[in-house]
C-alpha cells in the first residue's frame, strides 16, 4: 500500500524518468505477484518484476532468530535493489518508508527492512544510490488519504502487507512446507474476514511449531481464576513485542480448553503477564477436531487507526469456526488459535 | 501557537506532534539537549522513552533543568511524567504490576488538565516504572487499578505529568486532555 502510493506520487512528479521495481521475494500471498503486477500496470507505472525467490531463501536458511531473519532480508533486499538501480542507470531510489517504520527501527523494537539512513547507513557508499522517502512523516491512515488524493483508489483501499511479507509471520525457521501451510491459512483467514460487514483494520495468519511445554503452577493458578478448566502451555517459538518503549522478544502462551468466544478473554494477557513478565503473546485455542499436525496456526485481527497501538478485533465464534475448520483440513496443522494480545505488549506482526 | 515536543526516544513522540498539528498548533520534535534559555515557546510537551529515571538524571540532557525552571505550561508523558515526579522530590520504582495496553484511569482531582472527562476513562499505557505515592511536591490527579500515580500536578505551577498516552488513537479522550493543556496558555 505504502509503496504503491509512493510509486504513484513519484510517477506524477517524474513521468517517464521513473522505473518501478517489484521484488518477488517468495513471501507473497497466493496470487499476489500477479495481482500487484496488474494493479501497478493499470496505474500506467513502468514496472520491472525481479524474480529473486531463491536469493532470499538462501539468505535465510538455518536462521531462527527474528532479528537475524529481518537483517538478512534487508541485506538481500538492498543488494538486489542496488544491482537493479545500477542496471537501470538510476541514481536515486524512492521508497515508501512511513513514520512507524523509522520509529520502530530507530527505537530498537524491530528492524524494518526499509530503514537505512535513520540508522546512519550511507546508501551511496553501501548500495550505490541516494534515497528519497516522501512519506516519512505519515501514518497508514494518512497514506491512504494521499493515495485517494492521487486518484489511486484501489491502492488506497488495499490491505496493508509488510515488505518481508509472510517471512515475519512464519515464526522461527522458514521451511517450504511450513510456508505453504501459512500461505493456505492466510487465504482462508482473509477470505472470511474481508467479507464481514465491517472488516478488521488488519487480519492475518501466522504459523509456529507446535512444541509445547506446561506453563507451570503459578501461571495455571492465575489462569484458573479466569477460566477454571483452562490449560496453559508455552510454545517453543518466540514473538516480538514492545513493552514500555523497549523491544520485547519473548514467550508465546497458548491457552486451551477455554469457552468458545475469544473476545470474552481480551483482559487475559495482562493477568498472564503479571504472572510471568516474559510473556509477549497470549493465544486462545479455537474449538476444532484434534489433529496430530506439526504446527499451530494463529489468527490475528486488530482494530487500529495508525498501527502504533492496536486492540484485538471482536470476531464472533460463528465466523471463527469455519476459519478454524478450513485451516485444520491441512494435516500439518494441529490447532488454530486466536491472538488476544494488544499492541503494546505485542506488535501487529509476529517477528 | 507553538508547542514543541521533546523527543525522548519513545514510540509515540512523533504522534504527539501529529495530534498537536491536528489541533491547529505548530509543533516539531526537539532534542532533550535543548537548554531552557533556547525555549521561546507557548508550552512544552516531553514524550516517553525507553530509559529509566533510575539510570540517573544526567542521562536526560537539559530536561531536569527545564522541568525546574520552565515558565510556560509543561506536560510530561510516561517516562517524562516519571522524570517530573523524580525532579520534584518523588520516588520512581519498578512497578509490581506493569501496564501494557488498555487501562482504566480513575480521576481523583480533575484540575485543569482532566476537566470534563471523569470519573473514569479508558487509556493506553506502556510502562515498567511508576511514580510512588506519598512523596514529592506534587498532587496526584488520577490513578488506576495497577498504578497509584497516573496523573500529577506540580504544586503551584502549570506542570503536569500523565503516565498513560494521551497521543495515541486508542486513548479516546487523549485529544480532549491535549485541548485542556493547550487552553492553559490561552487562559
CB contact under 8 A, B169 and A104: no
Question: What CATH number labels B5-186?
Answer: 3.40.50.880
Catalytic residue among B22, B70, B78, B150: B78
Same structural domain, A292 and A246: yes
Output the pLDDT for position A262. 97
Backbone angles phi, psi at A295, to 5 degrees: -125, 150
The answer to whether residues A115 and A208 belong to one domain is: no
Confirm or reject contact between A269 and chain B (CB < 8 A): yes
Question: Does B104 contact chain A (CB < 8 Å)?
Answer: no
Give me the pLDDT at residue A154, please: 87
**What is the dihedral sign for C-alpha A116, A119, A125, A126?**
negative
Per-residue pLDDT, B185: 86
Burial of A298 (0-12, 13-18, 19+ CB in 10 A): buried
Question: CB-based contact (8 Å) between A278 and chain B?
Answer: no
* Whether residue A147 is found in the same domain as residue A176: no
Alpha helices in A107-250 (DSSP H): 123-127, 140-149, 153-156, 176-194, 217-224
CATH number of the domain bearing residue A217? 3.30.300.10
Please give the average per-residue pLDDT across B22-31, as a whole number: 97
**Is A116 in the same domain as A60?**
yes
Residues A209 and A187 in one domain: yes
pLDDT, average across residues B57-67: 97
Q: Please give the sequence-ordered ranges of beta strands (E in DSSP) within chain B, or none if there are none.
A: 5-6, 29-30, 44-46, 74-77, 92-107, 120-131, 138-143, 151-154, 159-162
Q: Is the pLDDT of residue A332 over 80?
A: yes
Q: Does the residue A351 lie in any domain?
A: no
Contact assignment for B101 to A104 by CB distance below 8 Å: no
d(CA A84, CA B37): 50
Does the annotation count B135 as an active-site position?
no
* Structure confidence at residue A50 as a pLDDT band (50, 70, 90): very high
Domain count of the fold of chain A: 2
Domain boundary among A156, A183, A206: A156
Residue A91 has pLDDT above 90, yes or no: yes
The per-residue pLDDT for range A310-329, each reduced to its tens digit, is 999 999 999 999 999 999 99
CB contact under 8 A, A269 and B15: no
ipTM for the complex? 0.96
Residue A106 lies in a domain: yes
> A81 is in which domain, residue-wise?
2-156
pLDDT at B135: 86
Q: Is residue A81 part of a domain?
A: yes
Percent of chain B scored above 70 by pLDDT?
99
| pLDDT recorded at residue A155 | 85
Chain A residue with minimum CA distance to B123: A309
Burial classification of residue B89, based on how many CB atoms lie within 10 Å of its CB (0-12 exposed, 13-18 middle, 19 or more buried): exposed
pLDDT of residue A110: 96
Same domain, A129 and A152: yes
pLDDT of B187 higher than 80: no
Residue A317 sits in the same domain as residue A184:
yes
Q: Which pLDDT belongs to residue A260?
A: 94
Task: Say yes or no: A305 and A185 in one domain.
Answer: yes
> Taking residues A195-224, what's their average pLDDT?
97
Amino acid at each position: 500500500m505504502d509503496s504503491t502510493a509512493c510509486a504513484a506520487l513519484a510517477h506524477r512528479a517524474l513521468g517517464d524518468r521513473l522505473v518501478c521495481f517489484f521484488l518477488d521475494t517468495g513471501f507473497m500471498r497466493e496470487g499476489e505477484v500477479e495481482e500487484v503486477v496488474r494493479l501497478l500496470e493499470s496505474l500506467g507505472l513502468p514496472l520491472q518484476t525481479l524474480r529473486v525467490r531463491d536469493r532470499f531463501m538462501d539468505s535465510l536458511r538455518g536462521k531462527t532468530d527474528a532479528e537475524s531473519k529481518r537483517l538478512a532480508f534487508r541485506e538481500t533486499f538492498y543488494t538486489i535493489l542496488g544491482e537493479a538501480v545500477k542496471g537501470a542507470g538510476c541514481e536515486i531510489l524512492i521508497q515508501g518508508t512511513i513514520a512507524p517504520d523509522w520509529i520502530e527501527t530507530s527505537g530498537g523494537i524491530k528492524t524494518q527492512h526499509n530503514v537505512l539512513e535513520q540508522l546512519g547507513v550511507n546508501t551511496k557508499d553501501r548500495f550505490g544510490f541516494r534515497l528519497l522517502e516522501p512519506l516519512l512523516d505519515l501514518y497508514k491512515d494518512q497514506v491512504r488519504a494521499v493515495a485517494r488524493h492521487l486518484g489511486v483508489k484501489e491502492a488506497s483501499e488495499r490491505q496493508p502487507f509488510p515488505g518481508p511479507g509472510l517471512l515475519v509471520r512464519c515464526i522461527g525457521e522458514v521451511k517450504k512446507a511450513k510456508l505453504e501451510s501459512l500461505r493456505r491459512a492466510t487465504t482462508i483467514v482473509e477470505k472470511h474476514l474481508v467479507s464481514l460487514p465491517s472488516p478488521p483494520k488488519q487480519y492475518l495468519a501466522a504459523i509456529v511449531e507446535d512444541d509445547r511445554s506446561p506453563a507451570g503452577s503459578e501461571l495455571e493458578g492465575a489462569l484458573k481464576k479466569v477460566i477454571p478448566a483452562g490449560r496453559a502451555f508455552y510454545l517453543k517459538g518466540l514473538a516480538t513485542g514492545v513493552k514500555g518503549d523497549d523491544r520485547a522478544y519473548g514467550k508465546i502462551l497458548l491457552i486451551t480448553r477455554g469457552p468458545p468466544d475469544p473476545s470474552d478473554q481480551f483482559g487475559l494477557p495482562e493477568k498472564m503477564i503479571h504472572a510471568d513478565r516474559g510473556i509477549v503473546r497470549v493465544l486462545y485455542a479455537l474449538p476444532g477436531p484434534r489433529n496430530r499436525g506439526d504446527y499451530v496456526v494463529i489468527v490475528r485481527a486488530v482494530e487500529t487507526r495508525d498501527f502504533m497501538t492496536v486492540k484485538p478485533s471482536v470476531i464472533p465464534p460463528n465466523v471463527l469456526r469455519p476459519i478454524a475448520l478450513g485451516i485444520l483440513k491441512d494435516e500439518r496443522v494441529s490447532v488454530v488459535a486466536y491472538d488476544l494480545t494488544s499492541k503494546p505488549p505485542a506488535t501487529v506482526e509476529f517477528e | 501557537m507553538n508547542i514543541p515536543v521533546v523527543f525522548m526516544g519513545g514510540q509515540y513522540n512523533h504522534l504527539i506532534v501529529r495530534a498537536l498539528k491536528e489541533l491547529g498548533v505548530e509543533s516539531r520534535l526537539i532534542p532533550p539537549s535543548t537548554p531552557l534559555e533556547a525555549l521561546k515557546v507557548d508550552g512544552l510537551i516531553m514524550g516517553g522513552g525507553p530509559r529509566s529515571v533510575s539510570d540517573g538524571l544526567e542521562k536526560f540532557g537539559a530536561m531536569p533543568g527545564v522541568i525546574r525552571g520552565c515558565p510556560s505550561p509543561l506536560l510530561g508523558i510516561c517516562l517524562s511524567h516519571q522524570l517530573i515526579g523524580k525532579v520534584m522530590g518523588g520516588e520512581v520504582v519498578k512497578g509490581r504490576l506493569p501496564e501494557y495496553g488498555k487501562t482504566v484511569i480513575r480521576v481523583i482531582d480533575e484540575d485543569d488538565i482532566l476537566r470534563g472527562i471523569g470519573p473514569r476513562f479508558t487509556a493506553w499505557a506502556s510502562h515498567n516504572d511508576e511514580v510512588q505515592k506519598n512523596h514529592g511536591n506534587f498532587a496526584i490527579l488520577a490513578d488506576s487499578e495497577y498504578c497509584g500515580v497516573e496523573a500529577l500536578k506540580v504544586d503551584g505551577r502549570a506542570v503536569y505529568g500523565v503516565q498513560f498516552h494521551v497521543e495515541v488513537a486508542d486513548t479516546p479522550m487523549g485529544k480532549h486532555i491535549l485541548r485542556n493543556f493547550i487552553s492553559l496558555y490561552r487562559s
